[in-house]
Structure 1
């Protein structure tokens, strides 16, 4: 026999270590908790334009077919109801009620008539007509109850049946009278309630100049005048009265009351538009016209109804687009009123001729629009290769900008012979070339130019021609030229020697001898020839250049 000892949680196990009892007891999880699955609506594949169009056309066709079938069903039902009404001598509406609502009995539920209540109703009606009105239903039952007991006998069934018919007839009359409210008191109360909410406003004034009487106003409710001042800006009762009096004296003509031509033209245009609507409505057999298709009159009116404008001055267009001159508008309105201007009904032959002309005009308009599409759209058309100028590629030759080193030396040696006008022209040309190529200059080239400038200022090893070539590249400021020194005035004496003014290795305007210091006095150069002071004069650069060219 084996004995197994079971230790309680509170007992101490002999081999277990002493562990403090936990405050909380944790239960192991029975199963692993899985996250909840979320089912999202799958993304729909977007339809193409063709598929959208097919669906729209399919839905439209389905709606049209459904509408057509329902109309056929309604027409068939109406025809069937008309046939039944003729057969049974009833109204068509009766069969419609029977079909949709189960008959008039389901619309108005008719309960079983209580004969005792019917007798009391008829008896009270007879007593009221005879002048007895001081009895209620209980008193009528107590006093005239024997009459009902006599009618209730089997031999008096016919009389009771007539009583029920009379009850139905009188009850219908009473119901109708309740709706109409026929009593004098009810009628007076209803009218008084309606009249109390009405207000009257009168204005009396004269329409001639024989006597003088000020306009008179009458308000049934004085608050009406106060309300008019609220809803109408700057309302003045006296001013309005005198204005109406003047309007009546002038013959009730709005044109005579207006002062500005713009206001007169607006009223005339409104009157012209109303008159055109009236004339066109008469031509269309009295059909009401809300708006006139001024721009599409040919396609919407002429082609459908064979009506064209007759003797209309100029183009048939909306009066709002006409000139604001009063005289032409008055002539147009007068022509519309006397019938000289209006509309004309075309014959089939005339309509055919008009249609041919109209199609020709529309074709010309379409061709004109097609030719002037670029102008109408406001977009500039692309230039063709023939209209474009020759493409400028490559760098401009350095001779065009500054010239080579040889050309520089040559220009320096012959500057006394060139004119200031030619220099200004060359400078302007250089500036124009630099400006044209400024947009193509890159950032890297600008950095190189800055470095070349710095080296040139510091005395770098670049030659003058190279520096000038680099510094005067397009997009950069031209390198400054050396300052001009005033040219010396040379006399034209016959004893002048034939030696050149400058040596070949000298620059123009520079003396090869060293410049005197500030303390020394300048001495005359023996190489130069003396000039006659009497013939010496100040000559400007332009005069000297012209003389040199001569």
Structure 2
């Protein structure tokens, strides 16, 4: 808040996600026939997996040592530090590549493999390349309309895989953990490449999915700093409150205690949205909505008019409107739907409104602001006040000394006067 009472613009950028996400189709778990394995086979598989992972770690370690050696060699050759060349080698983070647009051939091959291998046992599925070679003539016989239909069907299935709701709890948990890990990897990589710090908090929005609020800080010291600087900073309390509010549908009305609090909140929303619409149409960030002098300061000054105000409510400042909730909600809904909005007046309409307003002012039916009592009079020149010498004040007793008493004396006309 600035000195003159106006709100200062935010120095940060805040982004919001969509208010609702429509799922195309739920993702059904893949139907696979279980393959029975003995305990001996499981033990051998575990041992083989560990040996494979140890071999991978050894190869990666040798690769990292080679990279450090190469970076040191390049530093001696070109003059920069070894860390500079290591950053060039390893950019960090993950790259989110845009998915390719599906082609008719890929869509046809996908449907072919799904139809042929639908009832196949594990390990008996036919190779995709072999299927394409055997049924290639069927693809060339397809018409353009059939190919287009295959592409649209493939796009719909891909979107359902991306946005569809998972029906089993284990799939939801695995999907959430994988997504969080990818986000954290990307944030850490961006921190290495660009130089950023931050945190996030994710929580569930329904009671069917069991997950605790998840926080992530790029630096542990950031959380400790916020705990010392912000009063009542508690990640557990913030996560729990956010989760409870999200489960209720992010509806503020359900958290307000009484009808008066709900109506005050709706009035605040109406006032803020009308002011935002006024600033948008006038392109003036300092524009203020005037309700009492609406005709003079809004219609005639800016050449605009607010249309769509409900007939059930008198036109006034939202704070002066009655506390009945239904008409206030109707007005707020009209503003959100675009039925109540500002529109510009033409030159002829503006001149007509100006003439009608001047006639009402002359008749006295419109209350106008009274002029100042000294309007039109010549004012005396401004005189500066005499500055007090602090040294003289200290000689008389210091700044902390009490003021001298007023003394009464009489002049020649026996009029009482007071002086120090």
User: Common fold, TM-score beyond 0.5?
Assistant: no
TM-score by length of 2: 0.37
Give the TM-score taking structure 1 as reference length: 0.29
Q: Higher relative CO (CA 8 A, sep ≥ 6), structure 1 or 2?
A: 2
